A and B are shown apart, each in its own frame.
Chain A
Amino acid sequence: MAVETPNRASEESASLSGVLTDPGWNGRAEYEVAADEALRRRPTLTVRNRLMLMLSLFFLLSLAVTIWSIHTLSTVRDSILFLEVADDYTSEIQQARRYEKNYLLYDTNLTDALQHASAAQRLARDNDGKIRKVMGTQAVAAMHQHLDEYHSLMVRIGDTKTPGTRADLEAQIRYHGNEAGEFAKRFVTTERAKVEARLSLAQRVLFASIGGVLLLTVLVANFFARRITSTLRRFAEHTNRIGHGDFTPIMPMRKYRDEFTLLAVAINRMVQELDRRHQILIESHKLRALGTLVAGVAHELNNPLNNMMLTAAILKEQYDELSDEDKLEMVDDLIGQTERSRKIVRNLLDFARESETKLEALDLAEIVDETAHLLGNQLKVKKVKLSVVVPQGVPPVHGDQQLLNEVLMNLIINALHVVAEGGEIKIVVDPEREDGFVALDVIDNGPGIPNHIIGRIFDPFFTTKPKGTGTGLGLSVARGIVQKLGGSLTVASSPGHGATFSILLPVTGIPSDISSRT
């Protein structure tokens, strides 16, 4: 049996069919258990763990950036130190070349030139490894060779006086000195470029890490917003629904279990318990409606009982004087009145009967008649006029006769409580108000419902009657039933002008599988 509700159909259809097949709470309990399991079956990823994970990530990122920065700084420092060496070397070479020129032009300072060239040689030898790393082994080897050549050529030119040989040596000295100088220049440029590159990289990395931190912060904020506030909002919505008497359990919405899962499970437990109690209260409300009815019916029974009592007593008193015909008539009266009493009791039992919900095509006019008849005496005692307007050709509605009787009974009893003696209650059936539905209005000319409570009158336990006289469940039960039958129950009222309760019930359609088969 599938019952479609126009709203929240997908979410609640499971629980609805459970409730409709079983008016008690067993079906619901199973559903609760299913929700419970679904909530718990998910892998655990608590909010705490997530938070820890995020914070660890934060820490690791910062650590990496820091370590890298320290490393970069120390290499830059080394490079700067090395750059000094390169500068020293360059200046030694330049000094040597200056003295070399002086020697070649004025024949002075050869010793100085040799000294500086040796110093350059020493520097290059001491830092050989590092220079190799920067400039490459081949270039360094060439540099050594040029330096060595330069030095030994200078030594040789000092000993040589022959002009021809001297000129040849001079040219060689210039060549090798020039090569060593060029190398020094390249060496400094390269090293400087390297330091600069490193520094700019460090800058970029720091900028990037600021960006990363920013991104992470946004992610964490987003996480909190999504995970925590949205979950809380969901719970708030859920508890609101509970407040309005909807006892559907919370179903899992995420892939993982977390702290909220425990809360959801706890809330579901609470809802289950509330629902159970609610069902008990609904039963007790039915008993109370039954009490109202019984009071009326008990009094109503007094009439046939009185007829029987008088008839039987007179039959006994005047037995000897009465003709057979009279006696027979009196016995017939007794039978007739007994029959009448039985009918009254049966009507009451019909209302009290516990039975399974049976959805069928129903004639609203019949239901209105039946309920009005059942309440006839209460209406009579309060001299309330009940008028019923049912137009011709109202299509049958889809519902359960007993449930609809109960709804109508609740609405009429409610109206009966608010109208003054001699007041009026109108029941109007309107098949044209909405497509696919039949509308039924219960209109009273009571004092109306004040604006500040009209929004709450369908809430469970809301009552305007003095403490202990109303359960506050009548309207909430009525709305629950109508919604389960796929309809709606609304109220319109303005203070001083009575109230109108409107039920919309779906018209029975021809089931599609049957129509396609024939």
Chain B
Amino acid sequence: MADNVQVLVLDDEPLVGKRLKSVLVKMRCDVEAFDDPMAALARIDEKEFDIVITDVVMGEVDGIQVLERVRGRNPRAKVIIMSAYAMMAMARKAMERGAYDFIAKPFVPEEMRVIVAKAARDLGFDFS
């Protein structure tokens, strides 16, 4: 296992990936950010990520599909879902399909940091 947590961030809003990357790289994460779901899926097929953070509503591909793709490849991977369209049904569906956590937009970086740190600890990384 690599020293750093391998993180992929996917959101069709480019700013989300950009900002989250700048936050997460400061906590021993290797972050790859995508705003194109197809490119992200291709990358997921290529590389095993520890944590995948994805948006739900992105046009033709939705976050639940990404979640299933990631979990299919690596059941240990923690998938964190974020959504501007957070609703009870969507949250339950995400959790049922094996999401690690679900967060409603808008959120502050600290909230994501807490979730990622917790996920990393659950994966056995030494996070304080």
Contact = CB atoms under 8 A, between A and B. Distances in A.
Q: Please say whether the chains A and B touch (CB closer than 8 A).
A: yes
Contacts of A337: 15
Interface stretch (B43-51, B66-74, B100-108, B116-124): B100-108
A318 interface: yes
Interface in A273-327: 299-303, 305-311, 313-314, 317-318
A333 B59 CA distance: 23
A381 interface: yes
Contact of B109 (A301, A308, A313): A313
Given A302-B105, A305-B106, A310 B57 contact: no
Contacts of B95: none
A303 B107 contact: no
B109 A306 contact: no
A343 B22 CA distance: 28
B84 A302 contact: yes
B36 interface: no
A383 B56 CA distance: 11
Interface in B1-22: 13, 15-16, 19-20, 22
A380 interface: yes
A277 to B, nearest CB: 34
Contacts of A300: 84
Contacts of A318: 22
Interface in B87-128: 104-110
Interface string B73-86: 00000000010111
B22 A314 contact: yes
B15 to A, nearest CB: 4
In this complex, the member of A299, A302, A310, A377 whose beta carbon has the largest number of chain B beta carbons within 10 angstroms is: A310
25 contacts: A299-B86, A302-B85, A302-B104, A302-B105, A302-B106, A303-B13, A305-B105, A306-B13, A306-B16, A306-B84, A306-B107, A307-B13, A307-B19, A308-B106, A309-B108, A310-B23, A310-B106, A310-B107, A313-B109, A314-B19, A314-B22, A314-B23, A318-B22, A337-B15, A381-B57
Report, nearest first, the 7 A-B pairs whose CB atoms are least far apart: A302-B84, A306-B106, A306-B105, A310-B19, A309-B106, A305-B106, A307-B15
Given A301-B84, A302-B86, A307-B13, 12 more contacts: A302-B85, A305-B106, A306-B16, A306-B105, A308-B106, A310-B15, A310-B19, A311-B15, A314-B19, A377-B57, A380-B59, A383-B62
